[in-house]
Structure 1
Amino acid sequence: MDKLSGVEVFVQTALAESFVGAGRTLGLTPSAVSKSISRLEERVGVRLFQRSTRSVKLTSEGQVFLERCQRIMVEIDSAENELSAMSDEPRGRLKIGLPLAGGLPLPVISAFMQAYPDIELDLDITDRVSDVIDEGLDVVIRGGELNDSRLMSKRLGAFRLHLVAAPAYLADRGEPTKAAELTNHACLHYRYPSTGRLEPWPLRRSRTAAGELALPMTMVVSSLEALLYLAQAGRGITCLPDFAIKEALAAGRLKTVLDRHMTRSTVFWILWPSSKQMTPKVRAFVDFAVERFKVGLVD
């Protein structure tokens, strides 16, 4: 069991590239994670990580070992799922990947916990695209295009991005009537925490006579909640999903602008490995999410 525990700690550390991140996932202190890795390295006789003050990176030997260990963890999960499938009652641990979506999935998770108390939940909430199979996840909720033929999927619903600002801000600075006028406004942008990439504003016309429209970078922040707060405080115009702003719009704290100039809607999907037998716990969550997830969406 100690060997198996060490393998799990190793895999989580490799994925998080951090003792702190691995410890947060496993419920261990960073010191306990570090000691477990050291014992594993001593046992196998090679260094698995290059350590620095900010992160840990796999060595070439560690990369080879990770591939083997991930397959081992997947096989263990499969064995547990096969045992779980022998029972008609949904039970056991369910590993779920969720998006950073302004709290949208959380009411579904809370209601599911109440409906299925025998299922233990292990949540991975992140903006990165989780690899469902390699990371041993049972099910994932994801927004965007699907391109993995190894996964089964069901549609949960769609959302649109809107440009919004506080009425007081628009009264003071003026309401833009075309995309080019955004260059005269304070623009608040969202940055994806895991990649550092900025969320593009899906404007229908994003070119000017001088070329591509360059929006002011008044503020860049990696939190939807922070953008929502700052926009309501009158600090500028920002781009947010409709489910995150519906209450503020209804209360008059925010107003949409340039609606006719916005394009593109995005679909939320629920995904699970097609190679695994669909266990009662996975089936229960998929059916529950399909029924309940759309309640939080605008459409």
Structure 2
Amino acid sequence: MDSLGALNVFVQAAETRSFTATGRQLGVSSSAVGKSVARLEERLGVRLFHRSTRAITLTPEGQMFLERCRRIFSEMEAAELELSQTRAHPAGILRVSLPLVGMLMMPTVSAFLEAWPEIELDLDFSDRLVDVIEEGYDAVIRTGEPSDSRLMTRRLGTFRFRLVGSPAYFGRHGTPETPAELVRHRCLHHRYPTTGKLEEWLVVDENGTRIEDLPRAAVSNAIEPLLHMAEQGRGIACLPDFAVRSLCRQNRLVSVLDDAVKNTGAFRILWPSSRHLSPKLRVFVDFMADTLFAERE
């Protein structure tokens, strides 16, 4: 058990790149962490970290040892999970990263918390590309196709985009009957926060020709301000259907030119392939897949 404790200290230090941060996580001093790592290095006969006054980094031997330690702890986790599968009520902390648009998933997330009250969700909202394994997430939800071979994935569902504006806006400016008429309207655009590029409106006319050079009344790197501006009659926005569904049902927004909009997307949940799907993660994945896109107009 002492050896496992030393391995745990090493793994924590490798992931935080800091003896001080590791000490805070484990409730010990930074010097105790350093001494534990030094004893481990002495026993192994290799240097595991390069040390400087500002940071620590893994040596090649340390990187190799880290992967082996992760497999050891993964096997221990798997053994524990096999014993816990019989538990009727999955419980514990589930750390999940969601995109910023994930704020609009909160009704589904809230319903999950009601269904599984013994699971504590630790949610992080960000559009940056997170390293699921290095940053210690149980899972991440993102759009697009997966590119990390270390991760398992499951599609939660697909969505399409809709052009929406308020009844008051269309009352003042008229409702566009053809895609070409959009060039005479106030358009509210979304800018990707990670790249700074505008999200394209894939709107085509009856001949399949794409409508380009649409006006810009406002640009935002988050969807919530676009929703607000559209509802307040400031223009037309191109937004995911799940984000506007409720407002359309309440007639606070109106959808136009549905057949002309070709933007689509998909959400996926990803988790480390080295880890077994724990009961708490399994019920979260199943719940999101069954519920997130269940309601369609």
Give me the TM-score of the superposition, normalised by structure 2.
Answer: 0.70
Structure with the greater alpha carbon radius of gyration: 2
SS at match of 1:294: coil
- Tell me, which stretches of 5 or more residues in structure 1 are unaligned? 12-21, 28-35, 49-60
Cα deviations by residue, 1:193-237 (Å, 9 ceiling, x for unpaired): 33323221121259999x972122221112222111111111111
Residue 42 of structure 2: aligned partner? none
Residue 51 of structure 2: aligned partner? 44
Question: How many angstroms does 1:262 deviate by?
Answer: 0.7
SS at match of 2:293: helix
Does residue 69 of structure 2 align to residue 81 of structure 1? no
Cα deviations by residue, 1:52-77 (Å, 9 ceiling, x for unpaired): xxxxxxxxx86989x95996996697
Question: How many angstroms does 1:145 deviate by?
Answer: 2.7
The answer to whether the 8 Å contact 1:84/1:280 transfers is no
SS at match of 2:141: strand
User: For residues 208 and 187 of structure 1, what CA distance do their matches in structure 2 show?
Assistant: 21
Does residue 244 of structure 2 align to residue 237 of structure 1? no
Cα deviations by residue, 1:97-139 (Å, 9 ceiling, x for unpaired): 2222363432333233344344332222222343433433222
Percent of paired sites with the same residue:
42
Residue 41 of structure 2: aligned partner? none
Does residue 288 of structure 2 align to residue 273 of structure 1? no
Residue 193 of structure 2: aligned partner? 193
SS at match of 1:270: strand
Root-mean-square deviation over aligned CA pairs: 4.0
Does residue 252 of structure 2 align to residue 253 of structure 1? yes
Amino acid in structure 2 at the alignment position of 1:169: Y
Amino acid in structure 2 at the alignment position of 1:250: R
Amino acid in structure 2 at the alignment position of 1:284: V
Residue 288 of structure 2: aligned partner? 289
Cα deviations by residue, 1:17-47 (Å, 9 ceiling, x for unpaired): xxxxx9xxx99xxxxxxxx9xxx9xx93244
SS at match of 2:198: coil
- Tell me, which stretches of 5 or more residues in structure 2 are unaligned? 1-7, 35-49
SS at match of 1:256: strand
Residue 157 of structure 2: aligned partner? 157
The answer to whether the 8 Å contact 2:15/2:134 transfers is no
* Count of aligned residue pairs for this structure pair: 259
Give me the TM-score of the superposition, normalised by structure 1.
Answer: 0.69
SS at match of 1:108: helix
